[in-house]
Structure 1
Amino acid sequence: MKIRKPMFVTMVLALASWSAHAEAEGARFVSMGSSYAAGPGVGVHDAASVDCGRSLSNYARTVAQRRGLALVDVACSGATTENILVRGQHGFPAQIEAVTPDTRLVAFLIGGNDIGYVGDLFGFSCRSKGKGACQVSDTAQLAQRLAELPGKLDRVIDAVRRRAPDARIVMVGYLPAVAQDAGTCPQLPLAPAEAERMRETTARLTQVFEATAARKHVDLVRAAALGTGHEVCAAASYVTGYHPARVESWREPVAYHPNQAGMDRIAQDLEALLGK
């Protein structure tokens, strides 16, 4: 008579086998996303990335080096979900093209540019300095973009699963720039109402990420929680403060973006997730 293993034992053995396979040294790891993943202005610029502005010490590079993974980093500054799925930037193909059947890990950080998150931070800050042509999304635009974002994130996850059925997928959230229980500072030149709107935008963006991760059964680096107490005005900030755009070969820090400490903190949490 054939003896069947209890279902729980079977599931544990299957998960253990999958985890070992996914995390084997040399496994293909694809990192996709926007500037928050690329790391412009952080550490040493990867010259091969041209205007995508990838850093040699962004969170994906750090994790890949520690884990011995074969990283393909295609994150690109300014990217939206369309740049992952449909068209590339700066002469590179759409980022999804990097995901091949042998890919075992995919991490992506995208969506902020779809809703104009950093653009609005820049726009409000620009207004405070009396600059001209400072663009900010109106509330109706923002609401519409947030409503469309879950479907866009779903399509990214679905595309990864079609191309690499055995890959583990990890979403990475956005480090917050504006603290929930503090005012502004010279590095965050927003009026009180503007700061409140950006807090609300961050909270809503975080909710979209959490709901998507749960709905699509993927892992999530909860960057909003990691960055609490480390916003722009904090003594130990994970995010850079405002300054007018002055990008020179991506050597200068980019305003309202992760600094090296922020990248390292995300890398730490991503590695902890993989350890599970």
Structure 2
Amino acid sequence: MTRRWIVGTAIAATAVAAVALTAAVAQAAEARDYVVLGDSYASGLGAGSYRDQTCLQSDGYSYPARWVAKKGRAAFGDSIVNRSCSGATVTTVSTKQLGNLDAETGWVTITVGGNDIGFTSTLTTCVLGTDANCATAVQAGLGKATTSLPGALDRLFATIRSKAPNAKVYVVGYPRLVTTSATPVGNCMLSTYERQQLNHSADVLAEVIRQRTAAKSGFTFVDGRSIFSGHEACTAAPWINRPGTGSLNEAFHPNRTGYEQYANRLQQITG
């Protein structure tokens, strides 16, 4: 009797597990909703045509919008929600942008980390200050990039995965911002040394984000450096706004062509 009970229980448990697995597989197959997360690079700052002056989401010209246009609206199920906001940090993404993630979320894109290392203030210092001022600001940012940022990204990515277990997550990285050519095009407002320092900072940030992305199953890093190579600010055909182009906060953000190139790369990766 005991043996029969054990065998029967085992069979029942196996059947329940099989049903649960089948349901989970079906749910994963149906997960197609798209949630956009991140900072000004995700919202499309620099491309113009903003929905509002708070989060500065570019209406139709951000890389998420352009990717949806290329892939086709039908690929994203019943819902596309853009929670990105200019100025967002890892903390604000964690606390304010994750509310729409669930088991039906099939796609997530996110760009975040630049504000956590004070990139905006560093850029301002480098444009307005001396080489020494710029180097000091860059080093302060690099300290944050290598100490507090990795753990913060790990926690954020773990939360995204727990809330959206079936999602494919694309972590879209930042480019190098300026050419290091000795003869930049136009008034770049940065010395060669300052441009080298800023690009070194961009490289360190990109590698930190890449490493933390690689540590998470189902997450893919999209390297902005290769996308924008040869088209940084102050080149002949820039995809990034240089200082003095557009409004002050649009400087060092992609222009419409730049965001289009981000979308092209996403389309290449996702098919």
TM-score relative to the length of structure 2: 0.78
Matched letter for residue 74 of structure 1: R
- Structure 2: runs of 5+ lacking an equivalent: 1-24
Counterpart position of 2:125: 123
Alpha-carbon distance, 1:246 to partner: 3.9
CA distance in 2 between counterparts of 1:59 and 1:43 reads 13
Alpha-carbon distance, 1:191 to partner: 2.2
Residue-pair matches, total: 237
- Structure 1: runs of 5+ lacking an equivalent: 1-15, 87-93, 129-133, 248-252
| 1:39-50 pair list within 5 angstroms | 39-47=44-52, 50=53
CA distance in 1 between counterparts of 2:102 and 2:181 reads 44
CA distance in 2 between counterparts of 1:160 and 1:137 reads 34
CA distance in 2 between counterparts of 1:183 and 1:20 reads 52
CA distance in 2 between counterparts of 1:101 and 1:260 reads 33
Task: Note if 1:52 corresponds to 2:55.
Answer: yes
CA distance in 2 between counterparts of 1:272 and 1:17 reads 26
Report the 3-state secondary structure (helix = DSSP H, G, I; strand = E; otherwise coil) of the residue aligned with 1:98: coil
CA contact (8 A) 2:213 2:221 kept: yes
Alpha-carbon distance, 1:151 to partner: 1.3
CA distance in 1 between counterparts of 2:37 and 2:47 reads 17
Alpha-carbon distance, 1:204 to partner: 0.6
Report the 3-state secondary structure (helix = DSSP H, G, I; strand = E; otherwise coil) of the residue aligned with 1:125: helix
Matched letter for residue 43 of structure 2: A
Report the 3-state secondary structure (helix = DSSP H, G, I; strand = E; otherwise coil) of the residue aligned with 1:219: strand
Alpha-carbon distance, 1:206 to partner: 1.5
CA contact (8 A) 1:61 1:71 kept: no
CA distance in 1 between counterparts of 2:260 and 2:150 reads 27
Matched letter for residue 224 of structure 1: R
Alpha-carbon distance, 1:245 to partner: 8.3
Percentage identity across aligned positions? 27
CA contact (8 A) 1:187 1:232 kept: no
Summarize the Cα distance change of 1:125–1:219 in structure 2 as closer, same or farther, 3 Å threshold: same
CA contact (8 A) 2:27 2:104 kept: no
CA contact (8 A) 2:233 2:239 kept: yes
Counterpart position of 1:74: 83
CA distance in 1 between counterparts of 2:28 and 2:81 reads 20
TM-score relative to the length of structure 1: 0.77
Alpha-carbon distance, 1:269 to partner: 0.7
Matched letter for residue 269 of structure 2: L
Report the 3-state secondary structure (helix = DSSP H, G, I; strand = E; otherwise coil) of the residue aligned with 2:129: helix
Report the 3-state secondary structure (helix = DSSP H, G, I; strand = E; otherwise coil) of the residue aligned with 1:96: coil
CA contact (8 A) 2:142 2:201 kept: no
After superposition, the CA RMSD in angstroms is 2.6
